[in-house]
Structure 1
Amino acid sequence: MFSFVVKRVGFLKDIPLLAILFDSLMRFWMFIAKPELLNWIDDLEENVKGMPGTTIGIHKYGGTAFNYLGKEFAHVHSNGLMDILLNKELKKSLMMEGKIKDHHVFKNSGWISFYLHNKQDVAYACYLLKKAYDRAR
């Protein structure tokens, strides 16, 4: 459903608060359908809080934004989709492993997308967040 919304009605994100409302509805659905996902997102937040200079806030298009000195380096949507900013060389290298994908919107950038499907994905997500944090520093 998320991909459909982004591709077909993505223009709606420009309506104030609509993307945040949509993400909140996804979060509520995950609370019912896959509550462990919310725990995994909490684990990611705790991991990022331990990185000096970071803050956590609401992402402008819904989800949780991870910032270093006020600049975003990653965010996670309530359906478990993480978007992480890396450099293009690292992105290319990691894509060869097959665990990450091009960003769902910004294909020709350093942004990547990674889905949290299970508890084991949290460790890899933390690895990616550390790489993005190191790049941001």
Structure 2
Amino acid sequence: MTTSIDRIVSRVSRWPGVETAPHRFGGTEFLVAGREIGHVHDAGVVDLALTKRVRDVLLTDGLADPHHVLPDSAWVTYRVRSAADVPGAMRLLRLAYLWRLLALRRRGVDLDPAIDPDTDLRRLGLPADLDALVRETFRDTLDRRAPV
């Protein structure tokens, strides 16, 4: 693995609820509550599992490419060619992670009540259309504040 991919794996694997496993086509996959949110390949390819609506916005905004093998799926690809690409990969992986956390919270499963998705979303600095999509999709969950 490249140094950049190693750095990504190291960071993402420390997020609450994230498990890593070897990916069937090489590299490392990231799982949250038994579901894959994405994976990295040794050659610097980051593939993310999202929804088609999120995928479409990411493609329109130029934040990711269609998946390198399944271009019509809900998956997207982000290429890490140098250390300068790591923040972009981390941003998209964090988006996929937050999407999964919010979906779980909607079902009453909270992997870490200390995580404030609203704050995380602001930190990601997503384009307005993508931020609006996430907030609209999870309005009910984001409006609920975890008891302190």
User: TM over 0.5, yes or no?
Assistant: yes
> Does residue 1:56 correspond to 2:13, yes or no?
no
Task: State how 1:83-122 maps to structure 2 within 5 Å.
Answer: 83-122=47-86
Q: Any conservation in 2 of the 1:87–1:135 contact (CA below 8 Å)?
A: no
> Could you tell me how far apart the structure 2 residues matched to 1:135 and 1:109 are?
17
**Where does residue 94 of structure 2 map in the other structure?**
130
4+ residue runs of structure 1 moved beyond 3 angstroms? none
Tell me whether 1:82 sits opposite 2:14 in the alignment.
no
**Hey, what's the Cα distance between the residues in 1 that align with 2:8 and 2:70?**
23
Higher helix share: 1
TM-score (norm 2): 0.63
Provide the C-alpha distance between the structure 1 equivalents of 2:94 and 2:63, rounded to a whole number of angstroms: 16
Secondary structure class of the residue paired with 2:58: helix
Compute the TM-score of the two structures, normalised by the length of structure 1: 0.68
Tell me the C-alpha RMSD between the 2 structures: 1.4
Alpha-carbon separation, structure 1, partners of 2:12 and 2:90: 8
Which residue type is aligned with residue 83 of structure 1? D
2:72 aligned counterpart, secondary structure: coil
Gaps of 5+ in 1: 1-26, 28-37
Deviations 1:74-95 (A, max 9, x none): 1111100111111222211111
The number of residue pairs the alignment matches comes to 101
Other-structure match for 2:112: none
